[in-house]
Amino acid sequence: MKVFLSKAIRVNGNDWKLACDSTNSQHYPLVFYSHAHSDHIPRKLPKTDIITSPITKILLKNFVSNFDDGNFFDSYSIDDVTFKQKSSGHIVGSTALKIESSEGKLVYTGDVSIRDKGFLEPFSPEKCDILIIESTFGSPDYVFPSYDSVIKEAQEQISHYLDNNIPVVLMGYALGKAQMLYNAFSHLSENIIMHGANFKINSLLLAEKIKGAITAMDYTEAKESNFLEQTSKWILFTPLKSGRDFFFSYLKKKYNAKLFAFSGWALSTSYKFRMSVDHSYPISDHADYNELLEICKKSNPNQIYTIYGHTTRFAAELIKHGFNAIPLSKQTLLDSFF
């Protein structure tokens, strides 16, 4: 199997070709979409066979303009070659792809996490010959504290405010991080409100009975019915933005609300000040450096390709640990095969 980058991550076998997480709509014989984050899907689907999970298919229906053009498959085969998905533990519906043939076994992680966050099946690494792995946090600078300890600390802070009649605003990306936050914090208040993309995506997931969605009131409805004034014990979930943003400044001034930001980048002590929020917590839907290394060790492949984020740094670290690792770039095909 040959792995290279040419407008998309490409894997070519003896007599088959696959493109992974292509954001362009050009024709490929076969495409795999690991999850529905916008940097992994196109705006228009290519007219071709598509391997993706049933949940990502539902999300694609809402995110692309030509959904009917796709031919969707949960698993796929071409002669003796099989393409199978398994949970990548990143966001709702996210999967890794496992390709097995007489040429060997390849695993493409997409975005990945091996932490158990209570509502998603974590990625479980398995022995393979070739591993294509994300490296968003692929530097030793990024090692997250335990998920449970961070959640506990945030829960205590949130409860403290609510007990003192101070409402809280919990900010996290509407698809992925938000479901993690709902799972961890929504039980702390009876008054759960969502704003903008959070309400929209949650409603979509709720209608499809997808795990991770919860019952919530739309912010617009809460505002129009004066619900926000009737009680101060509310939690508002919103997309992650700067606390200087007009909407958040308004919430602080009008309701004395406290702002919480949740991001892997909150490991940096300056993050809270950069985002102008009251509290920030380092939780992520990606694996941290140690977890990426653990995936590589358990997969024990002959060849690793690093993609997304700190590709060069992570490949260099992997080489130090005795792996054959190459950052996937336009140069990779040239370096690897000629």
Interacting residues with Zn ion (CB under 5 A)? 37, 111
By DSSP bridging, strand 217-218 and strand 191-194 are parallel
CB of 173 to Zn ion, least distance (A): 9
CB of 134 to Zn ion, least distance (A): 8
Identify residue 99 by its one-letter amino acid code: I
Q: CB-wise, 111 or 291, nearer to Zn ion? A: 111
Q: CB-wise, 19 or 169, nearer to Zn ion? A: 19
CB of 120 to Zn ion, least distance (A): 13
Beta bridge partners of 269: none
Q: CB-wise, 39 or 68, nearer to Zn ion? A: 39
Q: CB-wise, 111 or 317, nearer to Zn ion? A: 111
Among candidates 119, 168, 180, which has minimal Cα distance to 144?
180
CB of 37 to Zn ion, least distance (A): 4
Structure tokens at 58: 């539902």
Q: CB-wise, 167 or 176, nearer to Zn ion? A: 176
Is the distance from CB of 283 to CB of 262 less than 8 angstroms?
Answer: yes
Structure tokens at 296: 């590589």
Query: In angstroms, rounded to a whole number, what is the distance separating the alpha carbons of residues 275 and 288?
Result: 21
Helix/strand/coil percent split, the chain, to 5: 30, 25, 45
Query: In angstroms, rounded to a whole number, what is the distance separating the alpha carbons of residues 2 and 316?
Result: 21
CB of 313 to Zn ion, least distance (A): 19
